[in-house]
């Protein structure tokens, strides 16, 4: 299984709202609540993508210390979520690209971390 598929499965397995079926996992996009799903093997179905809430590029950068301090690296399950491609791409072109020095970008990421924390459960695989 590829690293991406493992991370997708980890995001689903730690999502309180994810429902497991014999063929995979179904949940809602962290951003817009659109239905997203992955196969049991971790393959994204439809427009499902892996969301790194605090962007990987923000780790080790000045201005993001308060956000990354609560995580054990970019692939910490508390930093992972399933998202639809549209939302994930918009975040990537907007807040993620603006960087941790942008107050609005940090607020969006902080809000998403809170939303993920509300949905987070220990890995139930």
Domain count, the chain: 1
Mean pLDDT over each residue of the chain, to the nearest integer? 95
Indicate the pLDDT class of residue 123, thresholds 50, 70 and 90: confident
H helices of the chain, in order, are: 3-13, 65-68, 85-93, 95-98, 103-119
Domain that holds residue 84: 3-119
- Between CA 121 and CA 75 the distance in angstroms is 15
Locate 75 and state its tokens: 């692939």
Give the number of other Cβ atoms within 10 Å of residue 94's Cβ: 13
Beta carbons of 84 and 49 less than 8 angstroms apart: yes
In a domain, 124, yes or no: no
Whether pLDDT at 104 is above 70: yes
Q: Is residue 108 part of a domain?
A: yes
Give a yes or no: residue 73 inside a domain.
Answer: yes
User: Is residue 91 in some structural domain?
Assistant: yes
Q: Is the separation of the CB atoms in 67 and 96 below 8 Å?
A: no
Residue 62 forms part of a structural domain:
yes
pTM of the prediction?
0.94
Answer for the pair 45, 38: CB distance below 8 angstroms, yes or no: yes
CA neighbor of 116 nearest in space, from 72, 82, 92: 82
Q: Judge whether 8 lies within some domain.
A: yes
In this structure, is residue 125 part of a structural domain?
no
């Amino acid at each position: 299984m590829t690293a991406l598929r493992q991370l997708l499965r980890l995001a689903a397995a730690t999502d309180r709202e994810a429902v497991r079926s014999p063929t995979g996992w179904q949940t809602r996009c962290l951003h817009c609540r659109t239905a997203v799903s992955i196969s049991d093997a971790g393959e994204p179905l439809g427009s499902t993508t892996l969301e790194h809430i605090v962007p990987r590029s923000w780790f080790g950068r000045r201005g993001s210390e308060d956000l990354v301090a609560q995580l054990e690296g970019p692939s910490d399950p508390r930093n992972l979520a399933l998202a639809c491609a549209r939302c994930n791409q918009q975040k990537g072109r907007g807040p993620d690209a603006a960087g941790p020095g942008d107050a609005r970008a940090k607020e969006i990421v902080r809000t998403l971390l809170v939303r993920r924390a509300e949905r987070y459960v220990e890995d139930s695989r």
